[in-house]
């Protein structure tokens, strides 16, 4: 059969790094895959070398708008590793609260986009509706909805006022209620089961071989979490559980993210309860020569920062490794052999990716003739859901009503 | 008023162009469409093709790799087309202006592509949903 190339990309803004995928398809089946990166390259590592140690958190914050706490957190961990400084206890709790709030908003964002891909726009709207109170909370704490600028070498930049505890806890209740509603909806819905179970399976062996991180590896049943393996912030001072799920398919990754959202609300609640008044930043005067390594568990996996100093006010080398770089090559095993209608969902299961499908076009090899556009791909995915819904006899309430009236 | 401008002001369809942003303005643009702000009430709709767009929402400091793709994309749009520079990066490249891979803010890029282009600016890092809505309303009133 003739092989057709389907380009996905080249740049899609809902991922940390923009990529360009080439899907080689035979009929409806994906047979091979190629990947190019570099569309979002802004030279951040080089820019960091021209900034002082205090300015770098603002630069690394802007690597990704969704993980805008994980990168500064990993960076300050690296500098504190270099310094060997112990940060105040209250700063540790505040760092944990901000990191976990970010996990909630990121997972809900992903949940909405995944719903959009399989044609459940209601899920998209509801997930983003529950995400809003979390952003309001960020605005209350830091003054900005995203890019919180909370991390500082030696501690945090801002305190959380005791007057705000009430609003934090009430927002958590609201988010938890919404997430539990989602868990009920996802676990019970036969259409979602049919669309996600057994699709894009990443076996534990492959997950290890590709070095995948975060919910991608935990969805294969491996309890890998940098918060437990090498604790930073307050993760060794509170009780919490690693969320894993067996299966490695899209369903398992969804389940891990939903369970983690609930667990994040527990972590924040415990932090707020255990937090005592005190200083929020250690006194750091100069950064000596040396090198430091720091990491943080971002919503998508481990973020790694390496910093080398020669005793001046600026880092001489700053290396960043984001989790998507490790997770994306696993598409090579998850996408191959799957139907093209599922490819958008499988690639989205690792990380949100919205605009990539918006800009997709299937091009016949050797010519520029477009065969399929991004809209067609989403349409195919939606048609499959409708087909499954029909086969299972699940009729949407409105349609049921219309049919009832017609029968009369 | 020209009929084409009159048509543009009613329920503008927008196309989202991400030119090496940090994703944040992009999720704020999507936020404007979701229940809390819900601009689809006013007929503002995100479309999948630049050929359907009345306005382009441009985010990000523009790098060398995406610039030729943006040129191509702008040429595909039906004129007149309002270009919205959303967020500080598109306005002035902010902290990325010294980077080796950044070609400059949208205004300078547009001078080369189309000197007569209509550009509207929405500042903020990221631009708040309220600011995006206010910017769109002001720009449409000024047309």
CB-CB contact of A45 with A51 (8 Å): no
The Cβ of residue A79 has, within 10 Å, a number of other Cβ atoms equal to 24
**Residue A359 banded pLDDT, cuts 50, 70, 90:** very low
Q: How many Å lie between the alpha carbon of B102 and the closest alpha carbon of chain A?
A: 7
d(CA A248, CA A21): 22
pLDDT of A134 reads: 93
Q: Which residues pair with A281 in a beta bridge?
A: A155
pLDDT of B14 reads: 87
Measured between CA atoms, the residue of chain A closest to residue B58 is A13
E-assigned strands of A102-237? Answer: 151-152, 155-156
**Residue A358 banded pLDDT, cuts 50, 70, 90:** very low
Measured between CA atoms, the residue of chain A closest to residue B47 is A358
Instruction: Give every CB contact of residue A280 below 8 A, 6+ residues apart in sequence.
Output: A88, A90, A91, A94, A155, A156, A158, A159
Q: Which residues pair with B102 in a beta bridge?
A: B63
Please compute the mean of the pLDDT values over residues A237-241 and round it to a whole number.
91
> Which two structure tokens, joined as six digits, stand for A237?
């001072």
d(CA A44, CA A49): 9
Rounded to a whole number of angstroms, the CA Rg of chain B reads: 14
**CB contact B101 to A (< 8 Å):** yes
DSSP labels, A218-244: HTTT----HHHHS--TTTTTS------
CA angle A325, A328, A329 (to 5 degrees): 100
pLDDT of A371 reads: 54
Reference A189, options A387, A394, A397; nearest CA is A394
Q: Indicate if the pLDDT at residue A176 is higher than 50.
A: yes
Please compute the mean of the pLDDT values over residues A54-79 and round it to a whole number.
89
Q: Is the Cβ pair A65, B128 closer than 8 Å?
A: no
CA angle B132, B137, B138 (to 5 degrees): 100
pLDDT of A9 reads: 59
Q: How high is the mean pLDDT in each 10-residue block of chain B (143 residues)?
A: 76 85 85 87 82 88 84 87 91 86 88 90 91 89 84
Strands A29-37 and A19-26: antiparallel
pLDDT of A373 reads: 56
Mutation choice for A interface testing from B14, B15, B17, B22 by most A CBs within 10 A: B22
- Alpha carbon of residue B8 to chain centroid: 15
pLDDT of A296 reads: 92
Matching residue, tokens 């505040």? A94
pLDDT of A97 reads: 94
- The widest CA-to-CA distance across chain B, in whole angstroms, is 44
Residue A375 with chain B: CB contacts under 8 Å: 48-49
> Which two structure tokens, joined as six digits, stand for B49?
């093709």
**Residue B79, exposed/middle/buried by CB under 10 A (0-12, 13-18, 19+)?**
exposed
Q: What is the mean pLDDT of chain A?
A: 83
pLDDT of A15 reads: 41
Percent of chain A with pLDDT over 70: 87
Find the CB nearest B96 among A10, A42, A355: A42
pLDDT of A19 reads: 60
Q: Is the Cβ pair A62, B126 closer than 8 Å?
A: no
**Residue A181 Cα distances to A6, A131, A167, A184, A393, angstroms:** 37, 14, 21, 5, 23
- Alpha carbon of residue B126 to chain centroid: 13
Q: Indicate if the pLDDT at residue A357 is higher than 70.
A: no
pLDDT of A256 reads: 92
Q: To which H or E segment does residue B130 belong? A: helix B129-142
> Which two structure tokens, joined as six digits, stand for A204?
């534990």
d(CA A160, CA A156): 10
> Which two structure tokens, joined as six digits, stand for A405?
């009236």
Instruction: Give every CB contact of residue B89 below 8 A, 6+ residues apart in sequence.
Output: B21, B22, B25, B59, B60, B61, B96, B125
Please compute the mean of the pLDDT values over residues A35-45 and round it to a whole number.
74
Find the CB nearest A46 among B27, B63, B100: B100
pLDDT in tens, A365-382: 555 555 555 566 667 777
Q: Which domains does chain B have, with CATH numbers?
A: 3-142 (3.40.50.12280)
Q: Indicate if the pLDDT at residue A347 is higher than 80.
A: no
Q: Is the Cβ pair A66, B27 closer than 8 Å?
A: yes
CB-CB contact of A98 with A361 (8 Å): no
Q: How many Å lie between the alpha carbon of B2 and the closest alpha carbon of chain A?
A: 32
Strands A151-152 and A29-37: unpaired
- Alpha carbon of residue A104 to chain centroid: 10
**Residue B78 Cα distances to A225, B5, B75, B114, B117, angstroms:** 50, 12, 8, 13, 12
**The CATH number fitting domain A44-317, selected from 1.20.1260.10, 1.10.1780.10, 1.10.645.10, 1.10.760.10:** 1.10.645.10
């Amino acid at each position: 059969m003739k092989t057709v190339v389907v380009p996905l990309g080249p740049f899609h803004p809902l991922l940390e790094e923009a990529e360009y995928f080439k899907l080689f398809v035979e009929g409806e089946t994906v047979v091979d895959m190629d990947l190019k990166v570099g569309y979002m390259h802004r030279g951040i590592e080089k820019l960091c070398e021209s900034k002082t140690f205090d300015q770098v958190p603002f630069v690394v914050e802007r690597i990704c708008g969704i993980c805008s706490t994980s990168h500064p957190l990993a960076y300050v961990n690296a500098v504190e590793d270099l310094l060997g400084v112990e940060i105040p206890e209250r700063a540790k709790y505040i760092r944990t609260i901000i990191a976990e709030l970010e996990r909630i908003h990121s997972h809900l964002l992903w949940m909405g986009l995944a719903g959009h891909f399989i044609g459940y726009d209601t899920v998209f709207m509801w997930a983003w509706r529950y995400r809003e109170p979390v952003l309001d909370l960020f605005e209350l704490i830091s003054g900005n909805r995203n890019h919180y600028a909370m991390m500082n070498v030696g501690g945090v930049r801002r305190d959380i006022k005791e007057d705000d505890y009430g609003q934090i806890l009430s927002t958590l209740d609201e988010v938890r209620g919404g997430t539990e509603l989602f868990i009920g909806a996802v676990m019970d819905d036969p259409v979602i089961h049919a669309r996600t179970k057994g699709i894009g399976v990443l076996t534990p062996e492959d997950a290890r071989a590709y070095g995948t991180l975060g919910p991608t590896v935990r969805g294969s049943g491996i309890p890998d979490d940098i918060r437990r393996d090498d604790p930073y912030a307050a993760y060794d001072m509170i009780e919490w559980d690693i969320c894993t799920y067996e299966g490695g398919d899209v369903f398992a990754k969804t389940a891990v993210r939903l369970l983690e959202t609930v667990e994040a609300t527990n972590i924040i609640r415990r932090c707020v309860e255990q937090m005592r008044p005190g200083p929020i930043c250690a006194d750091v005067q100069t950064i000596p020569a040396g090198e430091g390594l720091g990491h943080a568990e971002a919503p998508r996996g481990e973020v790694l920062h390496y910093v080398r100093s020669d005793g001046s006010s600026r880092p001489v080398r700053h290396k960043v490794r984001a989790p998507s770089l490790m997770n994306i090559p696993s598409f090579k095993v998850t996408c191959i052999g799957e139907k093209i209608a599922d490819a958008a969902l499988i690639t989205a299961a690792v990380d949100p990716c919205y605009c990539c499908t918006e800009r997709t076009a299937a091009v016949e090899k050797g010519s520029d003739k477009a065969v399929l556009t991004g809209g067609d791909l989403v349409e195919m995915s939606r048609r499959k859901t409708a087909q499954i819904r029909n086969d299972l006899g699940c009729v949407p309430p409105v349609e049921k009503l219309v049919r009832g009236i017609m029968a009369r | 008023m020209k009929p084409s401008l009159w048509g543009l002001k009613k329920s503008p369809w927008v196309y989202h162009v991400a030119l090496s942003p940090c994703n944040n303005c992009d999720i704020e643009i999507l936020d404007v469409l979701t229940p809390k702000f819900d601009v689809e009430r006013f007929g503002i709709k995100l479309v999948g093709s630049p050929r359907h767009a009345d306005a382009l929402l441009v985010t990000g400091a523009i790098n060398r790799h995406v610039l030729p793709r943006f040129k191509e994309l702008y040429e595909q749009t039906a004129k007149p087309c309002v270009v919205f520079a959303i967020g500080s990066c598109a306005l002035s490249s902010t902290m990325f202006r010294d980077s080796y891979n950044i070609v400059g803010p949208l205004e300078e890029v547009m001078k080369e592509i189309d000197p007569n282009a209509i550009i509207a600016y929405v500042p903020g890092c990221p631009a708040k949903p309220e600011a995006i809505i206010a910017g769109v309303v002001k720009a449409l009133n000024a047309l």
